A and B are shown apart, each in its own frame.
Chain A
Amino acid sequence: MGGFAAYLKSWVTGIVSLLTGLKVSIVNFFRPKVTESYPENRKTLVMPEHFKGVLTMPHNENNEHKCTACGICQMNCPNGTIKITSQTIETEDGKKKKILDTYLYNLGQCTFCNLCVLTCPSNAIVFSKDYETAIFTRSKLIMKLNNEGSRLEEKKKSASGEA
């Protein structure tokens, strides 16, 4: 009869366990829903402080950036995401100076490791907070970060500006 008692017990425990499961799911049925309605919530969506969207090079109002074309970011990038071309010009006082020609950034290869931003000695690049970076053509993933006709921000200016 032990077998039969166990059989009856299995009926009871089975039904009880199934009912507890049903209870949990019906409780959740009436709980507030957790889905976020994107893109309707675009306005309230705040990206966190350290969010890494797209690498950008901020320019000031005079179309000046801080990049000295030193190439440290390019060297530190583990994936070959950054390509810097520079030219050497002679300044008025006869010194040779390297200036930035193009700063190419390939979003398609970037793994957002942040090494370029961390190692940049002149804080010329930052990650933007753009989060809608998907596009249809792969070639558009290669971006030129420096604006047309931009030049290097004069050190004196920024120093006096900060002071």
Chain B
Amino acid sequence: MFDFKVLTQWIDQSLRALNLPDFGVLVIELVLVGIALLAAYAILAIILIWFERKICAWFQCRLGPNRVGIFGLLQTFADTIKILLKELIPINNNDKILFYLAPFIVILSSMLSFGALPFGKGLQAIDFNIGIFYMMAVSSLGVLGVLLAGWSSNNKFSMIGAMRSGAQMVSYELSVGLSLLTMVIFAGSMQLSQIVNQQADLWFIFKGHVPALIAFLVYLIAGHAETSRGPFDLPEAESELTAGYHTEYSGIQFGFYYLAEYLNMFIIAAIATTVFLGGWQPLHIPGLDGFNHVMDYIPTPVWFLGKAFFCIFLSLWVRWTFPRLRIDQLLHLEWKYLLPLNLLNILFMALIVIFKWHF
């Protein structure tokens, strides 16, 4: 397996060889990492949008984008340019500061959690020892942006959408947290690098018996709800609230919400990958050394992205099959079904860990 530390350390050493002060090296490295992450962020968003369009089309027996570029690959680039060029329509009688601030909060929260993801061996910008906690903390900042958008737009639809979003996020944050907590109990650590390293021989979803599987499914459902995508798209609810909290946004401001939505989908899938599916670890089956060796030749970022896209596919499959929930059903699902299940699941996981029943 290629360790990307080789690359990053080489960059570090060559910078230091230029006789720059330590502070200068740090600044340059920070800028480089920032640019790399921003570029990855934008490119991933564009790929994701194309991916969703194609998958959605295939579920619906359609062809999907196929006009701009081969297989419509350039379609999203064209759309990005379009959305960048579009006019920002100013709105009277709204809270200007909050209105313009809200999209940035949303995108900031997704950027912050994006930065801490382990994309491959040695490819992690920052490795907190409370990694999972940090992820959950920053990703739930996004709801603030949504609430602000709804409040500051001075639009009744936006207001209803934002309120729905508030109720939804607060509820599903609980399930996300508890299902991750299950795995934290299992791993004994919140540090993402450690969690990944522990899965070198076997992924947690196989290691952790039924509770890990249940936690994985619950996390996918709750995480899907966190991203507010159908069937949990109540804050937007096109057929009810036209566009919900972002009704009044236009141009790139709307683009920010759009981007954040897709990236949040990726982040949820990436966390699921890291915690349940072994992160960038190749598929290893204990006992099959030859097979394991072959798997090691596939680069680690490919493993990571492959698994993440598999999770995204699951989420799209659900999204393009089910009708939207009503607000009471949404809350019933969380508080009557997922939460009790989660609590039981944690208990089982604790028992498994105490009695060492796992592989």
Chain A residues near B57 (CB, 8 Å)? 33, 35
Stretch of A22-30, A88-96, A108-116 lying at the B interface = A22-30
Q: Kindly state whether residue A11 has any CB partner on chain B within 8 Å.
A: yes
Shortest beta-carbon distance, B74 to chain A, in Å? Answer: 17
Q: Kindly state whether residue A156 has any CB partner on chain B within 8 Å.
A: no
Tell whether, in the assembled complex, residue A28 and residue B60 are in contact, meaning their CB atoms are under 8 Å apart: yes
Q: How far is the CA of A31 from the CA of B62 in the complex (A)?
A: 10
Instruction: Please give me the residue from chain A that is nearest to B321 by CB atom.
Output: A25
Chain A contact residue count (CB 8 A cutoff): 17
Q: Kindly state whether residue B291 has any CB partner on chain A within 8 Å.
A: no
Shortest beta-carbon distance, B315 to chain A, in Å? Answer: 12
Chain B residues near A22 (CB, 8 Å)? 317-318, 321
Tell whether, in the assembled complex, residue A29 and residue B337 are in contact, meaning their CB atoms are under 8 Å apart: no
Tell whether, in the assembled complex, residue B62 and residue A29 are in contact, meaning their CB atoms are under 8 Å apart: no
Q: Kindly state whether residue B357 has any CB partner on chain A within 8 Å.
A: no
Q: Given A11-B337, A18-B322, A21-B322 in contact, is the A34-B61 Cβ separation under 8 Å?
A: yes
Q: Kindly state whether residue B58 has any CB partner on chain A within 8 Å.
A: yes
Tell whether, in the assembled complex, residue A28 and residue B59 are in contact, meaning their CB atoms are under 8 Å apart: yes
Q: How far is the CA of A32 from the CA of B57 in the complex (A)?
A: 12
Q: How far is the CA of A14 from the CA of B61 in the complex (A)?
A: 26
Q: Kindly state whether residue A60 has any CB partner on chain B within 8 Å.
A: no
Q: Given A11-B337, A18-B322 in contact, is the A25-B61 Cβ separation under 8 Å?
A: no
Q: Kindly state whether residue B320 has any CB partner on chain A within 8 Å.
A: yes
Instruction: Please give me the residue from chain B that is nearest to A23 by CB atom.
Output: B321
Q: Kindly state whether residue B33 has any CB partner on chain A within 8 Å.
A: no
Q: Kindly state whether residue A160 has any CB partner on chain B within 8 Å.
A: no
Q: Kindly state whether residue B63 has any CB partner on chain A within 8 Å.
A: yes
Instruction: Please give me the residue from chain A that is nearest to B58 by CB atom.
Output: A29
Tell whether, in the assembled complex, residue B322 and residue A28 are in contact, meaning their CB atoms are under 8 Å apart: no
Tell whether, in the assembled complex, residue B337 and residue A28 are in contact, meaning their CB atoms are under 8 Å apart: no
Instruction: Please give me the residue from chain A that is nearest to B337 by CB atom.
Output: A11
Chain A residues near B61 (CB, 8 Å)? 28, 31-35
Tell whether, in the assembled complex, residue B59 and residue A29 are in contact, meaning their CB atoms are under 8 Å apart: yes
Q: Kindly state whether residue A137 has any CB partner on chain B within 8 Å.
A: no
Tell whether, in the assembled complex, residue A33 and residue B62 are in contact, meaning their CB atoms are under 8 Å apart: yes
Q: How far is the CA of A39 from the CA of B141 in the complex (A)?
A: 47
- DSSP majority for the A interface? helix
Chain B contact residue count (CB 8 A cutoff): 15
Q: How far is the CA of A37 from the CA of B62 in the complex (A)?
A: 10
Tell whether, in the assembled complex, residue B317 and residue A25 are in contact, meaning their CB atoms are under 8 Å apart: yes
Shortest beta-carbon distance, A137 to chain B, in Å? Answer: 26
Shortest beta-carbon distance, B279 to chain A, in Å? Answer: 27
Tell whether, in the assembled complex, residue A25 and residue B320 are in contact, meaning their CB atoms are under 8 Å apart: yes
Chain B residues near A26 (CB, 8 Å)? 59, 317
Flag B267-293 by CB within 8 Å of A: 1 or 0 each.
Answer: 000000000000000000000000000
Chain B residues near A28 (CB, 8 Å)? 59-61
Shortest beta-carbon distance, B169 to chain A, in Å? Answer: 23
Q: List A33-63 residues whose CB lies under 8 Å from chain B.
A: 33-35, 37
Q: How far is the CA of A73 from the CA of B300 in the complex (A)?
A: 75
Chain B residues near A11 (CB, 8 Å)? 337
Q: How far is the CA of A34 from the CA of B62 in the complex (A)?
A: 6
Q: How far is the CA of A21 from the CA of B317 in the complex (A)?
A: 10
Tell whether, in the assembled complex, residue B59 and residue A25 are in contact, meaning their CB atoms are under 8 Å apart: yes
Chain A residues near B320 (CB, 8 Å)? 25
Q: How far is the CA of A31 from the CA of B337 in the complex (A)?
A: 34
Chain A residues near B59 (CB, 8 Å)? 25-26, 28-29
Instruction: Please give me the residue from chain B that is nearest to A36 by CB atom.
Output: B63
Which interface residue of B57, B60, B336 has the most chain A CB atoms within 10 A?
B60
Shortest beta-carbon distance, B88 to chain A, in Å? Answer: 29
Chain A residues near B60 (CB, 8 Å)? 28
Chain A residues near B318 (CB, 8 Å)? 22
Which interface residue of B66, B320, B321, B336 has the most chain A CB atoms within 10 A?
B321
Residues in B lying within 8 Å of A, measured CB to CB: 57-63, 66, 317-318, 320-322, 336-337
11 further A-B contacts with Cβ under 8 Å, apart from A21-B321, A25-B321, are A7-B336, A22-B317, A25-B320, A26-B317, A28-B61, A29-B59, A31-B61, A33-B58, A35-B61, A35-B63, A37-B66
Residues in A lying within 8 Å of B, measured CB to CB: 7, 11, 14, 18, 21-22, 24-26, 28-29, 31-35, 37
Q: Which 5 A-B pairs have the closest CB atoms?
A: A25-B321, A35-B63, A35-B62, A34-B61, A21-B321
Q: Please, could you name 26 A-B residue pairs with CB atoms under 8 Å apart, sorted by A?
A: A11-B337, A14-B337, A18-B322, A21-B322, A22-B318, A22-B321, A25-B59, A25-B317, A25-B320, A25-B321, A26-B59, A26-B317, A28-B59, A28-B61, A29-B59, A31-B61, A32-B61, A33-B57, A33-B58, A33-B61, A33-B63, A34-B62, A35-B57, A35-B63, A37-B63, A37-B66
